[in-house]
Amino acid sequence: MNNTTLDFISKLLKDTMKLDLHYLIEPYNGLSIFDRFLRDSLQNSDTLYQQVLSFIQTLEHNTFYILTDAYQLNYVFFYPYQDKKDLITIGPYFTDQITDEYWHKLINIHKLTMSNVQNLKGFLYGVPIIGNNLSIISIMSNIISYINPKASPYTVTYHEFKSPNNPDAFYQPKNDFGVHANQVAARYRIEQQLLKHISNGNRKEALDEAEKFVSTPFEPRLENSLRDHKASLITANTLFRKAVEVNEIHPVYLHEISSKFVNKIENITSISSLNMLYEKMIRGYCNLVKNKSTKQYSPLIRQTLHYIEFNLDSKISLNELADKYDVSVPYLSNQFKKEVGQTLIKYTNQLRINTAIKLLNTSSLSIQDISFCVGIDDFNYFTKVFKKEIGLTPTDYRKKIYTDTTD
């Protein structure tokens, strides 16, 4: 099966049913991935994986094997091709909700301590619940038809991994819960500090905290695949967006930066590139706070600032704004200068010139078109205001850009 097909099917299952799909080739050296490394976290993990490996050796072609283990987790194993023993695994998943009764049974059967249970909860609550196996079987049949149209119909066989004679020695977590709890607490403390720095726009502090966050152990069972890195980054993107919302940044900017990073995450094809993007996301959200936060302003001035920014290509007057927000012209004028530190007209002109500079630097638009784009119809007036703010005419500024880039 080619990688494109495999990635497509894996993503489809992950997005629609939160199910993991893995394609393993004999001798199945990466087998521990099939259960999200669950057995790797349990006592005598080698014996437990050997139990699974021995079962795989008994599989027959044209059969879906639905397996249930000692934690009532379910998996599907099958060979997609008749002539070779490439293995597809799907799962883990539950067919029932996790209840108090489930935990009581787990404790009694495996002689788990409460610390053991707490250690397992973080993992087991993250496993998807599929109401019954029929939907899984239907999906499997469609997958087989897609990747191997010539395949004969498959039968279904159920198999239960029997508990060893000494279950308390096999199904208890390896790690002491105190160690695990301390790791979890430390990671969440770092995460809170990271989000706090991003919320305040402190880029350097946020990057330093992010380095600690990445290096702090948390869930050793998590896969290290590209898909899982992408899922983590999408979660981080959401957390970062929520962290900066308190700064009264206009939703348009929040949506823009969040969507931009989601798109980048989806299109990246290497883990190293995702790691680089993680830093860019932190820088981007911190810069957004620095440049677009309006938390320090009153609701009236905040609305006024947003209006100016989103209507920069139109004529903006104090009279119209005062009428729009149902206040007097003197009140709006005085309040704007008091909170922003300059008159509304001066602020608007500076914003227009700053926007014009960006267009001069990044576009091939004519200077007259740029003048129209920033809401100044009179080209001569635009040149006069530009020179007053920058010290050069727009034409001279563009010539300087050209000279600087060709030297």
State residue 221's pLDDT score.
38
Does the pLDDT value for residue 70 go beyond 60? yes
In DSSP terms, which residues pair with 93 in a beta bridge? 74
State residue 183's pLDDT score.
61
Are the C-beta atoms of residues 28 and 42 closer than 8 Å to each other?
no
pLDDT digits (tens, 9 = 90+) for 158-170: 998 866 555 445 5
Strand order in the sheet with 63-68: 21-24, 87-93, 74-78, 63-68, 155-160
Nearest CA-CA partner of 125 in 73, 59, 54, 49: 73
Q: How many residues does the chain have?
A: 407
Start-to-end CA distance of the chain, whole Å, equals 52
The CATH 1.10.10.60 domain(s) of the chain lie at 299-406
Residue 301: count of CB within 10 angstroms of its CB: 19
Q: Which helix (H) or strand (E) holds 287?
A: helix 271-292
Compute the average pLDDT of residues 266-284: 89
pLDDT digits (tens, 9 = 90+) for 6-57: 777 777 788 778 888 888 888 888 788 888 888 887 877 888 888 899 899 9
State residue 29's pLDDT score.
80
What backbone phi and psi angles, to 5 degrees, belong to 24?
-120, 140
In DSSP terms, which residues pair with 90 in a beta bridge? 21, 76
Predicted TM-score (pTM) of the model is 0.56
User: Which amino acid, residue 277?
Assistant: L
Architecture of domain 299-406: Orthogonal Bundle (1.10)
Lowest-pLDDT range, 78-87, 103-112, 226-235, 278-287? 226-235
Does the pLDDT value for residue 199 go beyond 70? yes
Does the pLDDT value for residue 327 go beyond 50? yes
State residue 209's pLDDT score.
86
State residue 144's pLDDT score.
77
State residue 220's pLDDT score.
41
Does the pLDDT value for residue 176 go beyond 60? no
